[in-house]
Structure 1
Amino acid sequence: FLELCQKQSIYFDPATEDLETIQHHTVDFLGINQYYPKRVRAPRYQWNEETPFHPERYYEVFDLHGKKMNNSRGWEIYPKIIYDIAMYLKENYHNIPWLITENGMGREYEEQYMDEKGIVQDDYRIEFIGQHLHYLIKATEEGANCEGYMLWAFTDCVSPMNAFKNRYGLVRIELNDERSRTLKKSASWYQTLIDKRELDLPDEIYK
């Protein structure tokens, strides 16, 4: 990697004392924000040498046919990626301690899933979280050094790119003067998960 950076003139050119500082002050743990995979393949065309460096010099995006999608965000849903990440860290990075610092499901127009009591029936979010946790637990059972999982997010939140267009929370925030809040179905499910410390979902949800 360092040789590649030097070749492309993007190496940070450290002094000897900089490298010594890095060597003696390695990170304590790694935090990973994970929502979707990015699939790539070898590039089919010659890179224009006059173009400034970009990592896409070495790959092009690959669109997997038949992939499962969160169409609200245009993101692929592939829960096994958490297992793949865990095994990669275990095998290639000395099984450094790490944790999931963000993982969650954003959806548009969640009001369409409200029941007669005004509770959002977000089974899609329960499925998303449940599948990802299933593979994360499987990874830890196989020796991955993951120390935690942080859900994004507790409540619906403002995105700098789309305001409240996509809702991520276990708790719904209404955009009224009171900013009233209601628990979604996923909130009760997640509370039970915390209390019981058991991931109990139908077998078909893990497929």
Structure 2
Amino acid sequence: MKNRHIIILVLLIFSIIGCNLSPVKQHLIKVSAHINAMKTKFGTDYLKPDLLSHFPNEIKDTTHLSLLSSPPTCPPSFECRKQFGEVYLITKRDTITENRIKDNYLYKTKYLSDSNIIINLPELKFNRFSIEKCNKEFDNKYPIPYFESYDFNLGEKTFEKDIDGEIYVDYLHTIPNDLMVYVIKAEAGNFWKEDCQEIRHSLNEWKNGYSKGIAVSEEKELMVYWTMIW
């Protein structure tokens, strides 16, 4: 009976603390918890560990905050539906993290420069909204995300397409003009535990692989963390 009273007291204390937190603080706690859960769950069906190790453990500011997690749905956890996925987090610029990564990055590039290997993940399979600059190979380069698919809260355009009577929607998000990209790690190869033999429309060497890193805008004072696998 005494232990039961202790458990009830502890639960009551946490309930009171939760009630005293502001909605913003509660939101930051939820986002942080989701990121840490994804660090364990994302890439479960992939052979490369620690895919989200560069993501922060705790989010402390809502400035520029935007998060998307789109994990693969494929064997052995699921049937073959989508053998690619990504996670991105946009948040306030963290100069400590930025400087640490700048001392140990694999590849650096201006996003708006020519001849980047820009991966538009859905289009590797579906080819519904073809983008001229995406999914092309270049020597001595490493894959980076199609950042226009990331929501920077700077505006967007919506596109619709009718394919065989079905309407598909795509979004083109406004991005910072000074976005500088740092690839931390990237490898070409098939690292899936079970291969779905999914269609890939391009990218010979980089038909399969993964890439992770950060991108920074000094002008907008924001940072993007990303990981993508395909």
**Is this a same-fold pair by TM over 0.5?**
no
Q: Which structure has the highest helix share of the two?
A: 1
Q: Name the larger-Rg structure.
A: 1
Query: Per the shorter chain, which TM-score range?
Result: under 0.3
